[in-house]
């Protein structure tokens, strides 16, 4: 992702609303995957202390800066071929899943 807002950007609405996730600070902890066909939502995995297995944006992302991010989700059942990635106020992004490593 590249910040082209003209100012520093802190993804506050990306961290999620759950109390447990608040300790993640600026992060992508509130993201999820939705399988529309199976009507199932997958939340980001967490460690034993409740921290997300995802990118944290310490200090935000400065204007013009590019930041890579990751989020680890549970694997959908075999045969699932499409999910929607949702985070914050962004529109959902459809992802095609393929078998493999």
Dihedral Cα 38, 41, 44, 49, nearest 10 deg: -120
82-86: strand order across its sheet? 40-43, 32-35, 82-86, 93-96
Helices (H), 1-101: none
Q: What is the pTM of this model?
A: 0.77
Per-residue pLDDT for 6 more than 80? yes
Dihedral Cα 24, 7, 32, 96, nearest 10 deg: -140
Q: First vs last Cα of the chain: how many Å apart?
A: 24
The full set of domain ranges for the chain reads: 1-91
For the chain, what percent of residues have pLDDT higher than 70? 86
pLDDT digits (tens, 9 = 90+) for 24-37: 667 788 889 999 99
In this structure, are residues 23 and 46 in contact, taking their beta carbons and an 8 Å threshold? no
* Structure tokens, 79: 């045969």
């Amino acid at each position: 992702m590249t910040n082209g807002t003209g100012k520093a950007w802190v993804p506050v609405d990306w961290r999620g609303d759950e109390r447990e996730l608040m300790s993640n600070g600026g992060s992508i902890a509130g993201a999820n995957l939705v399988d529309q066909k199976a009507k199932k939502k997958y939340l980001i995995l967490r460690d034993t202390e409740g921290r997300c297995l995802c990118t944290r944006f310490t200090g935000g992302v400065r204007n013009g800066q590019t930041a890579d991010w990751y989020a680890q989700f549970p694997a959908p059942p075999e045969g699932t071929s499409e999910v929607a990635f949702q985070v914050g106020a962004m529109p959902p992004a459809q992802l095609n899943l393929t078998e493999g490593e």
